[in-house]
Amino acid sequence: MRHSSRGEVDPFIVMDVMEAARQAEAAGRHIIHMEVGQPSTGAPKAAREKLARELDDPLGYTVGLGLPELRARIARHYQDWYNVDLDPQRVVVTSGASGAFLLAFSALFDNGERVGLGTPCYPSYRQILKAVGLTPVDIPTTLSQRFQPVPTDVAEHDLAGLIVASPANPTGTMLNSKEIAALAAACQSADAALVSDEIYHGIDYDVPPVTALQVTNDAYVVNSFSKYFSMTGWRVGWMVVPDDHVRRVERLAQNMFICAPHAAQRLALHAMDCPQELERNKEVYAANRALMIDGLRAAGLNRFAPPDGAFYIYVDVSEYTDNALVFAADILKEAGVAVTPGLDFDAQRGHHWLRFSYARGTDDIREGLDRIAAFMKGRKG
């Protein structure tokens, strides 16, 4: 049977690692999960209780742009967190951040256009771009620039658009206000679109992250309820777009998705008013981060950029292997710890890197680090 080249995308390696870990658990082993960026907590309890009381009401379609009260609450969130006065009409509620990226890429780019990615980066950017007929352009970044693209990359690579992430996956590094402003100016000069992935906002430790909306209105800003709000399985996110793009995105959303899931939207609305529980989750991540930094260094895995936010550390393991895929499989087999090979994030250089997630409970992180230390000791002989 015929098929489309749009389906010729690479596998998401972390999902393969999750499956290998699941098989090991099914065989009776205890696996420590450091491979996936999923909070160990669920949606806030008070939000779930409010939603449960609403489930007797019919939950039909919402309008394509999302529940008006949720869009208004998200706009207020930007005032509360960033002192940005945002018109709720610019907010689009989406089926997870993935839905936002599909809408953004469809609204911004024509077939074949070149969209830049500072590698290492979240792998699904590349695969979604391919699937909608666009050309992903990998822009190698360096440890010294904290794995973030720089303004000269835009013109140098003849881009129609640039995707930036702060805090970034897999590195956890962030862009400051001056850096985001410079990237926005470079995009404007080149008539290129700026897409800012901000789904890890709220999970920061020393310095709060900056939203692109603090420096420009000419950007698509993507966020999600999956990470800080601990709602991965509910599949709801949001996007902020320029005024003159709202109707364009609305038409696409109506036809692609009709709307984001109604129940998930209502839960998201309630979750935004549960700051105490969410901040307690963040305290766990902060404790895990400190443990992870010290534990990895003690094990000899000390080459990484400072993880400013999110819940990942991206580690150079070139001293120990030329094949991170095999190295990760060995760690799973011998130590019972699931980690992600860097090939997911950087197809050219990822064979020398591993990503460690510290999103799980602190006891798990502590035990996982003990196992990794024992594994590395055996490797060093």
Mean pLDDT of the region 229-255: 97
Q: Are 69 and 63 in contact (CB under 8 A)?
A: no
Q: Tell me which of 21-25, 45-49, 125-129, 226-230 is least confident.
A: 21-25
Q: Would you say residue 306 has pLDDT above 90? A: no
* Pick from 364, 320, 272: nearest CA to 81: 272
Token pair, residue 189, equals 């000069």
Helix (H, G, I), strand (E, B) or coil at 370: helix
Confidence grade of residue 281 (pLDDT, cut at 50, 70, 90) = very high
Which residues are CB-neighbours of 275 under 8 A, at least 6 positions away?
Answer: none
Residue, of 13 and 132, whose pLDDT is higher: 132
In this structure, are residues 243 and 276 in contact, taking their beta carbons and an 8 Å threshold? Answer: no
Q: Tell me if 5-42+276-380 shares its fold with 57-273.
A: yes
Mean pLDDT over residues 76-85, rounded? 98
Task: Write down the pLDDT at residue 58.
Answer: 86
Span 167-195, pLDDT tens digits? 999 999 999 999 999 999 999 999 999 99
Pick the closest to residue 169 from 51, 275, 348, 14 (CA basis): 14
Tell me the CATH class for 57-273: alpha beta
Q: What is the pLDDT of residue 11?
A: 67
The whole-number pLDDT of residue 126 equals 93
Whether the CB-CB separation of 355 and 307 falls below 8 Å is answered with no
Per-residue pLDDT at 314:
96
Give the Cα-Cα-Cα angle 152, 155, 156 (nearest 5 degrees): 75
CATH code for residues 5-42+276-380: 3.40.640.10
All structural domains of the chain with their residue ranges = 5-42+276-380, 57-273
pLDDT for residue 147:
94
SS3 114: strand
- Would the pLDDT of 5 be above 80? no
Whether residue 170 has a cis bond before it, omega within 30° of 0:
yes
Cα separation, 372 vs 370, whole angstroms? 5
Q: Are 270 and 51 in contact (CB under 8 A)?
A: yes
Structure confidence by residue, pLDDT tens digits, 29-38: 999 999 988 8
- Cα separation, 338 vs 333, in Å, equals 9
Amino acid type, 365 = I
- Place 252 in a pLDDT band, splitting at 50, 70 and 90: very high
Query: Contact 344/13 with Cβ under 8 angstroms?
Result: yes
